[in-house]
Amino acid sequence: MTQRYKYVLEEKDLPTQWYNIVADMKEPPPPYRHPATLDFMKPEDLIPVFPEALIAQEASTERYIEIPEEVQDVLKMWRPAPLYRAHRWEKALDTPAKIYYKWEGVSPAGSHKPNTAVAQCYYGKQEGLRGFATETGAGQWGSALAFATRLFDMECKVFMVTISYHQKPYRRIAMETWGANVVPSPSTETNAGRQLLEQDPDTTGSLGMAISEAIEYGVTHEGYKYSLGSVVNFVLLHQTVIGLEARQQMEMAGDYPDILIGCAGGGSNAAGLIYPFMKDKLDGTKPDLRAIFVESTACPSMTRGIYAYDWGDTAKTGPVAKMHTVGHGFVPAPVHAGGLRYHGMAPTICALLDQGYAEARAYHQNVCFDAALTFARSEGFIVAPETAHAVRAAYDEAMACKETGESKVILFNASGHGDFDLAAYDAYLRRDLPDYEMEEETIQIALQDLPKVPA
């Protein structure tokens, strides 16, 4: 019998609606709080920061939200994205598990990130904005927004975490090729950046710091607003095209996942794959479905943080959200998975974790590259360091099936390629890649400055 490796949808099969998981959550996450007063925020409080259409999506409890035709037309440049059956990897692992992966490396920016960048730029252009300011860790999000702003004839200002700015010069070059202005963060261009540099001139930066700079720049420059690539629900909403496509493709394969896996820094790619399937667990159709969100041991918000209200950025300028956090002042170790170096996590993911609908685990970077190497040597794709964390979890679940003899169906999101991350692979192959175990004292110190939220 001929094995089928790839399941491809046609353009006509591209989803025309996004799925909003809030509509099916029995206990949605509590509202954001104002960064200054800590009172509950009203949607209009976000107007200086985000385009109004996105604020409406953030507050929406509708199950499905229409994808504008103009957004669909851009997404069709690379979507629907393929779903693969990892036959060769299964054979190499000698596992009875059936492993599938959704390949998001086909976008022009090389990851899942343009799925929301395109939507945000569409709504920003509709509102008459001149440009967006944003932050980026590994550069995947900055690349996506630089690409999308160019398509909509908008400007793009990117504050790139300093360690990634130097570790990943090709991401910076890609952003600049698309016309973005990129600076290492913290920078001297904002009050927040200058204060952070005064405190520690040699800081490697963090996403929390870069967010502070991007928000400040966005709200203080005429015609600009702030754009972000993860955490908030309108971003996760836009990413559900991944899972909505994957549902169709799994039907083509005649399978349904027992285990869903995604790497999670802020949670957008993992939620994008998992949420359209999680609907079945929430309504009782698939009560045994497992959803695993995978993070880095260098920034273990879900596995070692606490579930509490915290500021979304270091300078305390963004909304205060209830989430799993290691503290807004936490500065993660300089792992190559820069997209996993955020101190918090998407509030909807955190609520699902707290309510027992999902699982979380953390890995050191070397074991992730161990698994990514076996994947590359079987399937051919060299994945991003962030994606390698999902690969590791899939590897472990496949090996667990080998021990029990169970033929479970595993589906993970291969959220981006690692073509610009070969320096990380070079360090790994030369045994020069350190692992970082965060001391509990470091986390506890960062958690001491959480907001004192009124009862």
Measured over the CA atoms of residue 356, residue 270, residue 335 and residue 103, the dihedral's sign is positive
75, 102, 110, 240, 253 from 269: Cα distances, Å: 16, 11, 13, 8, 22
**How many CA atoms does the CB half-sphere of 207 hold within 13 Å?**
30
202 secondary structure, DSSP code: T
| Domains of the chain: residue spans and CATH | 79-110+240-438 (3.40.50.1100), 114-228 (3.40.50.1100)
Largest CA distance in the chain: 66
pLDDT in tens, 152-191: 999 999 999 998 898 889 999 999 999 999 999 999 999 9
Using the predicted structure, report yes or no on whether residue 1 has a pLDDT greater than 70.
no
pLDDT tens digit string along 208-225?
Answer: 889 899 999 999 999 999
Rounded to an integer, the average pLDDT of 374-402 is 98
**Stated pTM of the model:** 0.95
Query: Which ranges of 127-224 would DSSP assign to H, the alpha helix?
Result: 140-151, 162-167, 169-177, 191-199, 207-220
Read off the pLDDT of residues 316-364 as tens digits, 9 standing for 90 and up: 888 999 999 999 988 888 888 878 888 999 999 999 999 999 999 999 9
Do the beta carbons of residue 321 and residue 309 sit within 8 Å? yes
